[in-house]
């Protein structure tokens, strides 16, 4: 992550695009997932009603968040669970650190949690001498490669199976050149089995937290969250405070939408409910704010908190498909990441709302109907007003606005432009013009429509 922190999305995407066959492979892989999503969605005639219902349930949650959170906490405590509150990433990491230290534990197994990526928990614990092993296969692969996930559902979607074979050969001792997914998966399984059996602590994410019952639900395809949590003495569940749903009956709406949107499966292989700790064991829930309250207070952006982290907006986004998740230099990439990240650090992520053509596909695949592309447009306005755009761009825009507000200036500039194109094409057809790198400039016609129309009017008289 550190090597990419100083480059913006456009620069990182340009690097990604140096290898065109790889871009094609990445694009087609994700489009295939999008196509699977379409097939799954079209099998449900009530799909649009489901999306609308999910959206309204989440709107209700966001409007009554404090009430539901307190209800959830009270019911979880009744169940024998310990609840912690973390204002930010630092506090979350400190809480986890303390829970482990107090029990003399220095090794932990962790299933998928984008929240812990957002909080940089692995680095925090590693710096303090703790060993954390990610048990989701994709996450384990990127962890061994020393990279962050490039996608929230498919963390190593940017890696080809041959590259994974090399990583496993180096770290897990598989045969050199082995790239059969079945054999590689078996290698990972044997490796993780030992981890599951020996770790006293397991950390998981939370997909849904039910206020009515105090239970929480974790969705995985590999059963790795269950393996970790059931075998460990202490189960720590890290949860973003927006993960609440009011009642158990609402779960059906979200479980039907989540995996269909994510991968085109009808449901995740494991949708596991956790309510009470087993005898002699502990469950701790850490409810994390980390900027969510601020986002909730931004009227234009609050409904980004409806997100259920399905990743459908990434798979459909042509910019994501052709630039790769790492180009977004943030834990949650793609369209949804681009509306969440500026809330956390507007200066650092000022480029992300501009990494979009505003094509609107994201908003329309979103299972909870977040108006993602409208929020990208609105973030652009906020970022410009906050002064996080290059001065040259602001000067150019002011000049353009001034010219276009005056018919006389507009006509003069248009004529100048066309004459330049015609008689001095070298002024625009050169390396300083980014358009010209891969595209020809439009041909300049003899006259504008306005000029043609004026002549026609003259002739008609």
Ramachandran angles phi, psi of 399, nearest 5°: -65, -40
DSSP 109: E
Chain positions 354 to 373 lying near another protein, rule: CB under 8 A, are: 354-361, 363-365
Contacts of 391 (CB under 8 A, 6+ apart): none
Neighbours of 127 (CB within 10 A): 9
In the complex with another protein, the residue whose CB is nearer, 181 or 450, is 450
User: Applying CB under 8 A, which part among 76-84, 166-174, 251-259, 351-359 lies near another protein?
Assistant: 351-359
Tokens 């630039």 label which residue? 323
By rule CB under 8 A, what string of x and - marks binding of each residue 371-400 to another protein?
Answer: ------x--xx-xxx---x---xx--xx-x
Chain positions 224 to 283 lying near another protein, rule: CB under 8 A, are: none
In the complex with another protein, the residue whose CB is nearer, 437 or 461, is 437
Task: Find the binder of another protein among 401, 423, 431, 459 (CB under 8 A).
Answer: 401
DSSP 305: G
Please tell me whether residue 5 binds another protein under the rule CB under 8 A. Answer: no
Contacts of 125 (CB under 8 A, 6+ apart): 93, 96, 97, 100, 108, 132
Chain positions 32 to 51 lying near another protein, rule: CB under 8 A, are: 38, 41-42, 44-45, 47-48
What span, in angstroms and rounded, lies between the C-alpha atoms of 139 and 149? 7
Contacts of 338 (CB under 8 A, 6+ apart): 328, 349, 352, 353, 355, 356, 376, 379
Ramachandran angles phi, psi of 235, nearest 5°: -110, 115
Q: Which two tokens stand for residue 16?
A: 């990604």
In the complex with another protein, the residue whose CB is nearer, 66 or 453, is 453
In the complex with another protein, the residue whose CB is nearer, 171 or 378, is 378
Chain positions 291 to 320 lying near another protein, rule: CB under 8 A, are: 316, 318-319
Please tell me the count of residues contacting another protein according to CB under 8 A.
74
**Minimum Å distance from CB 426 to another protein?**
17
**Minimum Å distance from CB 367 to another protein?**
11
**Minimum Å distance from CB 176 to another protein?**
34
Task: Find the binder of another protein among 405, 431, 458, 461 (CB under 8 A).
Answer: 405
């Amino acid at each position: 992550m550190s090597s990419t922190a100083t480059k913006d999305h456009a620069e990182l995407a340009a690097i990604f695009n140096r290898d065109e066959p790889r871009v094609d492979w990445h694009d087609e892989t994700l489009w295939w997932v999008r196509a699977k999503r379409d097939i799954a969605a079209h099998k449900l005639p009530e799909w649009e009603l489901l999306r609308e219902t999910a959206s309204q349930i989440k709107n209700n949650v966001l409007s009554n968040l404090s009430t539901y959170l307190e209800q959830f906490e009270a019911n979880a405590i009744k169940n024998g669970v310990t609840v912690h509150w973390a204002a930010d990433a630092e506090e979350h990491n400190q809480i986890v650190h303390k829970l482990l230290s107090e029990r003399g534990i220095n090794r932990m197994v962790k299933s998928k949690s984008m929240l812990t990526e957002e909080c940089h928990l692995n680095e925090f614990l590693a710096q303090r001498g703790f060993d954390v092993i990610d048990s989701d296969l994709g996450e384990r692969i990127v962890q061994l490669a020393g990279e962050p996930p490039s996608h929230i559902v498919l963390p190593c979607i940017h890696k080809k199976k041959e590259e994974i074979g090399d990583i496993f050969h180096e770290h897990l001792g598989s045969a050199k050149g082995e790239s059969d997914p079945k054999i590689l998966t078996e290698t990972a399984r044997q490796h993780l089995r030992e981890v599951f059996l020996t770790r006293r602590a397991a950390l998981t994410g939370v997909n849904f937290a039910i206020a009515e019952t105090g239970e929480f639900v974790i969705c995985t395809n590999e059963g790795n969250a269950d393996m970790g949590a059931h075998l460990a003495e202490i189960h720590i569940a890290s949860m973003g405070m927006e993960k609440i749903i009011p009642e158990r009956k609402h779960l059906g709406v979200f479980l039907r939408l989540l995996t269909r949107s994510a991968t085109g499966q009808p449901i995740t292989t494991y949708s596991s409910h956790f309510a009470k700790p087993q005898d002699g064991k502990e469950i701790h829930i850490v409810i994390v704010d980390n900027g969510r309250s601020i986002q909730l207070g931004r009227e234009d952006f609050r409904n980004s908190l409806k997100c259920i982290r399905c990743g459908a907006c990434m798979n459909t986004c042509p910019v994501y498909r052709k630039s790769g998740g790492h180009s977004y230099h943030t834990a949650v990439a793609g369209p949804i990441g681009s509306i969440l990240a500026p809330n956390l650090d507007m200066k650092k992520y000022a480029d992300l709302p501009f990494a979009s053509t505003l094509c609107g596909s994201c908003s329309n695949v979103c299972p909870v109907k977040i108006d993602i592309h409208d929020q990208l447009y609105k973030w652009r306005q906020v970022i410009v007003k906050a002064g996080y755009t290059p001065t040259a761009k602001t000067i150019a825009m002011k000049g353009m606005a001034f010219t276009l507000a005056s018919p006389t200036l507009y006509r003069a500039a248009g004529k100048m432009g066309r004459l330049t194109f015609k008689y001095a094409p070298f002024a625009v057809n050169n390396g300083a013009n980014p358009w010209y790198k891969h595209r020809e400039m439009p041909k300049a016609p003899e006259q504008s429509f306005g000029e043609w129309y004026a002549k026609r009017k003259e002739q008609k008289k």
